[in-house]
Amino acid sequence: MALQRVSEITTSFYTPLLLDLACNYRIIAMAHLNVATSAICASAVFPRLNLGIVHWGKMFTCSSYAKLPSSFGSTSRGGLSSLISSASVGKNVGSIEVSQEESVKPYLWPDKKRPRVCILGGGFGGLYTALRLESLTWPEDKKPQVILVDQSERFVFKPMLYELLTGEVDAWEIAPRFSDLLVNTGVQFLKDSVKVLRPCDHVGMNGPNISGCGGTVQLQSGLVIEYDWLLLSLGAEPKLDFIPGAVEFALPFSTLDDALKVNDKLTKLERVNFVKANPIRVVVVGLGYSGVELAATVSERLEGKGIVQAISVDSSILPTAPTGNKEAALKVLKSRKVELLLRYFVRRIRKSADFTSSVDQSDVAAKGNNLEQLILEVQPTEKGAKTQLVEADLVLWTVGNKPLLPQLEPSGWPFELPVTGRGQAETDETLQVKGHPRIFAVGDSSALRDPKGKMLPATAQVAFQQADFAGWNIWAAINNRPLLPFRFQNLGEMMVLGRNDAAITPSFIEGVTLEGPIGHAARKLAYLIRLPTNEHRVRVGMSWLAKSAIDCIATVQSNITKVVSDSYAEAEYRGVANVVSETCWLRDLLLELQQPSPTATLVYCDNVSAVYLSGNPVQHQRTKHIELDIHFVREKVARGQVRVLHVPSRYQIADIFTKGLPSILFDDFRNSLNIRQPPASIEGGY
Ligand SMILES: Cc1cc2nc3c(=O)[nH]c(=O)nc-3n(C[C@H](O)[C@H](O)[C@H](O)COP(=O)(O)OP(=O)(O)OC[C@H]3O[C@@H](n4cnc5c(N)ncnc54)[C@H](O)[C@@H]3O)c2cc1C
């Protein structure tokens, strides 16, 4: 890499450094600019003079300047080059505290002339803005270079995270890789975490009409991106530090990792429950949209295996939702026996003290599975009421969100972003951050009021619509056209309530709520249309069609079987009877060894008729050939020694050994059996 004389180094990259130096060393700035007004301006605008310098000293060591490649930036950008150059080499720079350990790696934009757009966060706001920018028509020399930075390698369609718990969707469908989504576009994706923002586009200093850079962004890897235009769309993260114990013991539900963790924990609890038949206790904290959707989904999954309790300080569920959605949700929660603890707040979460003192072998195994029993101390909101204790195996936290912006501002940096008390960047109606003509903010990172003065909600719907405007307004800003004011159009509210259940209240049809399977299908269709790219939409559409076809075929098959072939149920029932007789032998053996099994043995069968026969005392005409088996199994069920439960065919892994299966099921079962390609081949071919 060719070394370059410091005086020739591009200046635009150093504009933030320059400004920092200007505030911290205004005497130097005066000397070089030789304009008295600069000093007046510097001291008036930047009263805090000594805070930022150590940081910048670390970031831009003298040696790191020398290391910068010649291709970095362009001298045509930024009008303060002489000041930067001389400030960098001047003897006063020697007084900057320099660390040799940290090195700056500038991001090399492929083109020196075209505008540089940096998008921070690839969620609903960021990714959709990038795609919108791609879809617009640009004059040849104005088409911007766009880089999208996200800490994760996948875009997450958050409203469908619940479907991961029901097995309705696969991770690739709702969390595709950015690299796949952006493959046919000019957008560069960078997996990295944003650490520090240093804008230098304050109104009156370096606004849209000046050709200098808009600022820099420092990433965790040490990479520094200089941009002309910036989009802030970093979203928000769950806030758990409200009460003691929540960070340690409760699980949030906001990212793909969170959803996979919750799914994993539920699976482990189901395994323990399978052996011990103890009911699984899940507590959901919060009864806003997220809490209600989680309570409905988890209670459906745990049907017959556990209890879901949901806690809220409010006097009703979904305080801000339309009545139709609220009523539909209440109906579902009631039918699934979810216990609602309204007007309670959680004071503390801790491990159950009894747990460690009374461990038996299976509890130890449970602990090995990272399962622990928890206690929630809950307090009624009425004055003087006593604290109560609620036991749980799993606590799901859905209360509170905190935007990430405040963590990114360096202390002492002069051009602070205007951030609200909630930590969101204040924007004007064109989505430009107030006082920063080069920065736009969308989604959960931004705070904007509607014309009536009401704050827009932090939802995907808002972020999605803002992305459209942000893309357009960046286009307009680059092409010196007027910017458009954003107007939010509320299309209504949707919520999922289980595998085949949802509620939708569209805003454009007064008083109508679509519920149950119709609502579910409509919601899925609406989200399919909103998936980010055409290619992904088609792949997911095909996959969902294939899955529905499998489910339909399974349902039709079971109906036909019921009508046409009694012998099928008989054969399945015989299979159940054989299993029961084997387990009886084992239970007798344990009894003789003085280790009687205290709980019922669970037998799973995928034939509904066979399950029904095992519990139904009415003799059915179709069972004339298997009467003896019927009495044998029923007797064991009646004595509480055996429980026969239904398992859907989609989870009947043993089918892979006995029948031809559709490829999706086959792949699924094969994966469950851990049969995979070896992870790597060894050198030499062994
Ligand atoms: C479980 C769940 C269900 C929801 N359901 C609905 C719904 O049904 N309808 C609805 O309208 N809204 C729903 N929402 C809200 C909606 O998802 C958010 O409002 C929306 O995602 C906000 O979009 P965004 O672009 O601002 O942020 P996000 O979509 O959260 O994207 C932010 C991105 O920034 C990245 N990021 C964060 N910090 C950094 C960093 N330091 N460096 C690099 N990258 C970073 C993240 O990885 C993420 O990709 C739901 C939210 C959740 C959690």
pLDDT digits (tens, 9 = 90+) for 603-614: 888 777 777 776
Spatial CA neighbour of 120 closest among 591, 456, 444: 444
Average pLDDT over residues 118-143: 95
- Quick one: residue 384, left, alpha or beta (phi over 0 = left, psi -120 to 50 = alpha)? left
**Comparison of pLDDT for 361 and 677, the residue scoring more:** 677
Q: Name residue, tokens 């505030």.
A: 23
Task: Provide the Cα torsion 536, 542, 545, 549; round to 10°.
Answer: -150
The number of beta carbons lying within 10 Å of the beta carbon of residue 182 is: 22
Question: What is the CATH number that goes with domain 107-239+400-490?
Answer: 3.50.50.100
294 CA: nearest ligand 1 atom = 1
Least confident of 312-321, 533-542, 676-685: 676-685
Residue nearest to atom 29 of ligand 1 (CA): 123
What mean pLDDT comes out for the span 626-641?
A: 73
Ranges of CATH 3.50.50.100 domains, the chain:
107-239+400-490
458 lines ligand 1 (CB under 6 A): yes
Lowest mean pLDDT across 9-23, 376-390, 563-577 = 9-23
Find the 123 Cα to ligand 1 centroid distance in Å: 6
User: Is 493 near ligand 1, meaning CB less than 6 Å away?
Assistant: no
pLDDT digit string, tens, across residues 654-666: 888 887 887 778 8
CATH superfamily of 247-399: FAD/NAD(P)-binding domain (3.50.50.60)
Mean pLDDT check: name the lowest of 59-68, 292-301, 441-450: 59-68
Supply the residue whose CA is at minimum distance from atom 20 of ligand 1: 460
- Average pLDDT on 340-346 reads 95
Three-state secondary structure of 367-429: HHCCCCCEEEEEEECCCCCCCEEEEECEEEECCCEEECHHHHCCCCCCCCCCECCCCCEEECC
Q: Kindly tell me if the per-residue pLDDT of 59 is higher than 70.
A: no
Asked whether residue 13 carries a pLDDT value surpassing 60, the answer given is no
Ligand 1 pocket: which of 196, 257, 320, 459 to mutate (most atoms <8 Å of CB)?
A: 459
Question: Residue 129: which of 203, 48, 233 has the closest Cα?
Answer: 233
User: Which atom of ligand 1 lies at the shortest distance from residue 442's CA?
Assistant: 26
Beta bridge partners of 388: 378
Q: What is the pLDDT of residues 541-551, one digit of tens each?
A: 999 999 888 88
Task: Calculate how far, in angstroms, residue 179's C-alpha sits from the geometric centre of ligand 1.
Answer: 19
- Mean pLDDT for 533-541 is 95
Q: Which of 119, 195, 234, 284 is the best mutation target for the ligand 1 pocket, counting ligand atoms within 8 Å of the beta carbon and taking the most?
A: 234
Where in the chain do CATH 3.50.50.60 domains reside?
247-399
Q: Give dist(CA 415, CA 201) in Å, integer.
A: 8
533 lines ligand 1 (CB under 6 A): no
Residue nearest to atom 46 of ligand 1 (CA): 121
Residue 32 has pLDDT above 50, yes or no: no
pLDDT digits (tens, 9 = 90+) for 383-408: 877 889 999 999 999 998 888 887 78
Report the pLDDT value the prediction gives residue 206, as an integer from 0 to 100.
46
Residue 233 in contact with ligand 1 by CB distance below 6 A: yes
Cα→Cα distances 633→281, 322, 615, 620, 623, Å: 30, 49, 9, 15, 13
- 24-56: b (≥16 Cβ within 10 Å) or e: bbbebbbebbeeeebbebbeeebeebeebbbbb
Give the count of beta carbons closer than 10 Å to the beta carbon of residue 534. 9
Q: What is the mean pLDDT of residues 638-646?
A: 85
CB of 149 within 6 A of ligand 1: the answer is yes
Which ligand 1 atom sits nearest the alpha carbon of residue 494? 8
- Check residue 681 and give its pLDDT: 63
Q: Which residues contact 536 (CB under 8 A, 6 or more apart)?
A: 176, 180, 181
pLDDT tens-digit map of 210-223: 457 889 999 999 99
Ligand 1 atom 41, closest CA: 194
User: Mean of the pLDDT values across residues 57-63?
Assistant: 30
- Is residue 459 in contact with ligand 1, taking CB distance under 6 Å? yes
What gap in Å lies between CA 594 and CA 588, rounded to an integer?
10
- 163 CB within 6 A, ligand 1: no
CB 144 within 8 A of CB 114: yes
Closest-lying ligand 1 atom to the alpha carbon of residue 462: 11
Give me the pLDDT at residue 72, please: 32
The token pair that represents 328 in the structure block: 């539909």
Give the residue, 552 or 471, on which the prediction is more confident.
471
Ligand 1 touching residue 456 (CB < 6 A): no
Q: How far is ligand 1, taken at its centre, from the CA of residue 597, in Å?
A: 48
pLDDT of residue 304: 82
pLDDT for res 484: 96
Using the mean position of ligand 1's atoms as its centre, give its distance from the Cα of residue 327 in Å.
27
From 37-41, 158-162, 345-349, 595-599, the region with the lowest mean pLDDT: 37-41
Residue carrying the six token digits 């009947």: 652
Best residue for ligand 1 mutational test, from 119, 124, 239 (most atoms within 8 Å of Cβ): 124
Predicted confidence (pLDDT) per residue in 157-207, tens digit: 999 999 999 989 999 999 999 999 999 999 999 999 999 999 887 655 544
State in Å: Cα 634 to ligand 1 middle: 51
pLDDT tens digit sequence for 418-440: 999 888 999 999 999 999 999 99
Residue of minimum CA distance from atom 3 in ligand 1:
159
Give the pLDDT confidence score for residue 628 in this predicted structure: 56
Q: Of ligand 1's atoms, which has the minimum distance to the CA of residue 407?
A: 41
**106 Cα: distance to centroid of ligand 1 (angstroms):** 28
pLDDT at 303: 87
- Does residue 404 have its Cβ closer than 6 Å to ligand 1? yes
444 lines ligand 1 (CB under 6 A): yes
Which is the closest atom of ligand 1 to the Cα of 238? 53
| Residue 468 scores a pLDDT above 90 | yes
